[in-house]
Amino acid sequence: MAQISRKRARELRDKDFRKQMSDRLDHLGDSLEGKGRTILYGIAALIALAALIGFYNLWSTRRAEAANRALGRAIQTSSAEITPSPSPGSTETTFPNERARAEASAREFQTVINEHGDPQREIARYFLAVNNLVLDRARGLTELEALTRSGNAEVAAMSKFALAQAKEADNQLDAAANLYRELASQSNPVIPPDTANVRLAAVLEKQGNRQEAANILFRVVETARRAASGDAQSPALTSAARDAAQRLQTLDPARYAQLPPEPSARNPLL
């Protein structure tokens, strides 16, 4: 069997990374909906960007290894368990509340910003902004706004998505909808258009625009189902497409009934 070239191996790993990133972010909106604790804006980002760090680490030079380790430690702190009563004898880092965790995380991300270069520095700026939503919400929002214009496309997309979630939580629905529309019009593996469209539909429904919300959900599901013909070469349905179908069924059962049937020959992406 011929060996896979380095270029092809990189393409395959990149493709797998993009699929994992997409699926992990598909459920972000549902996990945040109705929850006021701002640190939740970063939970999926922690997962997604942790994967991103792993991706960068695969192709990094020795010069970047220290930065990756520092960023990895900061991410671990930021995702540490919150519990008032740690298990006796446990060596896992825990925090009594979200603010304590955010303070510790912010210090570590600031160290990465001060001592290392990009891309780790720019990613650390994103995480710092997310933690500042807990420590100083106005500052965190300002930092996220600035990062939506980052030269790092992944960081820019994640920042725009987190900012949209914050606007949605603050009931600034017009601003949130505009941000989701921008994300939906872009092509970025971190925030796939379907993920942004599902959140946009949720905002439109909150605004009372049920018809437009149903139209968006219908297009997401219809496109995904037609593309997923069921053979080995066609893409499987994403979590965003399945979520859109469930939302549409609740929002407009008659429109849901007009969808093409869901392919059943293949298991959907988990």
Q: What is the pLDDT of residue 42?
A: 55
Q: Which residues of 5-25 are buried (b: 16+ CB within 10 A; e: fewer)?
A: eeeeeeeeeeeebbebbbbbb
CA distance 214 to 90: 49
Helix axis angle for 173-184 and 153-169, nearest 10°, is: 150
Residue type, 27: H
Contact 140, 133 (CB under 8 A): yes
The residue with tokens 């399945």 is 242
Contact 146, 179 (CB under 8 A): no
Tell me the pairing of strands 81-82 and 94-95: parallel
| DSSP state at residue 187 | -
Looking at the chain, list the stretches that DSSP marks H as alpha helix, in order from N- to C-terminal side.
Answer: 6-26, 28-32, 43-59, 62-78, 98-115, 120-135, 137-147, 153-169, 173-184, 193-206, 210-227, 239-251, 253-256
pTM of the predicted protein model: 0.78
In the chain, what are the domain boundaries?
Answer: 17-83+92-153
3-class SS at 115? helix
Residue 220 structure tokens:
């997401």
Handedness of CA 238, 244, 249, 254 (dihedral sign): negative
Contact 156, 149 (CB under 8 A): yes
Question: Which regions in the chain score pLDDT beneath 50?
Answer: 1-4, 9-40, 265-270
Q: What is the pLDDT of residue 32?
A: 42
Residue type, 175: A
Neighbours of 4 (CB within 10 A): 11
* Spatial CA neighbour of 242 closest among 267, 209, 215, 265: 267
Residue 53 structure tokens:
């760090």
Q: What is the pLDDT of residue 87?
A: 78
CA distance 190 to 185: 14
Residue type, 7: K
Q: Which residues of 184-194 are buried (b: 16+ CB within 10 A; e: fewer)?
A: beeebbbbbbb
* Spatial CA neighbour of 70 closest among 21, 29, 127: 127
| DSSP state at residue 119 | T
